[in-house]
Amino acid sequence: MEKTFYYQPHIRYSEGPVSCFFAVLVVGSLAMPFVFGCPYGYWLCPATRLSLYLAGTLVCMGILARMVCRKWQEARFVVTDERLIHYDVFSLKVLSFSNVRRLRHFHFFHWFGLAILRGEKVTIFVPFVVYDVSKLLQLVEERLRENGRADLIRKERFGLFVHAAKLNDIVNDRIYADMGALTAIVMVSAGASAFIAYRMWLMFVPFVFLWALFGAALPLVAYLGANTIIAGRLSQSLRAAPDTVPCFDASRLYAGAALVSILAYLVSGIVFRWLYSLTIWA
């Protein structure tokens, strides 16, 4: 029986966001002569030449990045009865379960984890950024046992590793479901922060940018902090019933995180204006 596991959507479908990112950089580089006040008639001024060189470099880098992103769409792990196959971005690795000589794994809570299967000549890395990575790891464990390599598995430690992978899967599914609303909140917060700093506080552009960046980061930090608390509570449920998918109503927790972030925003605004006044009058 053969089963295929692809990478998570934010990696598989990164071509669009990466293209937009490089497009913004190219436009910004072409706008440099206007930012530095280069005369329209003097198109060979240093700022213009620099912007053209930079734009050309970014275009080439963007083309290469798009090629890599398209490769990521097809990158995958395939588990058969006897082999683990990794179709990487630029290579193909095949490892027979009977030839696995060493299995190592480590994780940092549910945020990051990596399993390493070493053979005589081939080494395959299985990171947490694989979609449904917990099922992949459970399948690898089954195949190792079936092919006589059960001695490589430390049941308790590997169980904790798979437990962290399950939490990673659940939290990532929640993030993907909330991605649209979270993106809108971040953009509104950044835009409102820039407006407040520029129009109401009358700050210079660099400080406007810093405050807009803070306004964008604060909702993300609050959301990720709430998800960390959720993961801790889900962890307890998974330990009690490992074969079930726990449910958790996070509405009150998200509301609390939003309230804390608003208070932090107000306090940070007072401190930021005070520091700005000290900088201006220094």
Domain containing 123 — which CATH number?
A: 2.30.29
User: Is 2 a member of any domain?
Assistant: no
Return all residues near 165 (Cβ < 8 A) that are at least 6 apart.
107, 110, 113, 128, 133, 134, 137
Question: What pLDDT does 266 receive?
Answer: 94
Domain boundary among 125, 153, 181: 153
Question: What pLDDT does 264 receive?
Answer: 93
Based on the fold, state whether residues 135 and 232 are members of the same structural domain.
Answer: no
Q: Within the chain, which residues score under 50 in pLDDT?
A: none
Question: What pLDDT does 150 receive?
Answer: 86
Based on the fold, state whether residues 145 and 232 are members of the same structural domain.
Answer: no
DSSP for 172-223 reads: HHHHHHHHHHHHHHHHHHHHHHHHIIIIIS---HHHHHHHHHHHHHHHHHHH
User: Is 3 a member of any domain?
Assistant: no
User: Is 1 a member of any domain?
Assistant: no
Contact 216, 193 (CB under 8 A): yes
Q: What percent of the chain has pLDDT over 70?
A: 91
Based on the fold, state whether residues 171 and 264 are members of the same structural domain.
Answer: yes
Domain boundary among 35, 56, 74: 74
Question: What pLDDT does 11 receive?
Answer: 85
Based on the fold, state whether residues 136 and 204 are members of the same structural domain.
Answer: no
Based on the fold, state whether residues 59 and 109 are members of the same structural domain.
Answer: no
Based on the fold, state whether residues 171 and 274 are members of the same structural domain.
Answer: yes
User: Is 105 a member of any domain?
Assistant: yes
Based on the fold, state whether residues 49 and 132 are members of the same structural domain.
Answer: no
Based on the fold, state whether residues 272 and 173 are members of the same structural domain.
Answer: yes
Based on the fold, state whether residues 149 and 172 are members of the same structural domain.
Answer: no
In this structure, the strands spanning 3-6 and 76-79 are antiparallel
Based on the fold, state whether residues 239 and 259 are members of the same structural domain.
Answer: yes
Question: What pLDDT does 44 receive?
Answer: 59
User: How many domains does the structure of the chain reveal?
Assistant: 3
Question: What pLDDT does 242 receive?
Answer: 63
Question: What pLDDT does 43 receive?
Answer: 54
Question: What pLDDT does 261 receive?
Answer: 92
Q: Measured at the alpha carbon of residue 117, what is the angle toward residues 111 and 122, in degrees to the nearest 5?
A: 130
Helix (H, G, I), strand (E, B) or coil at 229: helix
Angstrom distance (rounded) from CA 29 to CA 62: 14
In this structure, the strands spanning 112-118 and 76-79 are unpaired
Angstrom distance (rounded) from CA 66 to CA 48: 27
pTM for the structure as a whole: 0.76
Question: What pLDDT does 243 receive?
Answer: 63
Based on the fold, state whether residues 237 and 269 are members of the same structural domain.
Answer: yes
User: Is 81 a member of any domain?
Assistant: yes
The range of the structural domain enclosing residue 274 comes to: 167-281
Domain boundary among 153, 176, 198: 153
Instruction: Give me 64's structure tokens.
Output: 């290469």
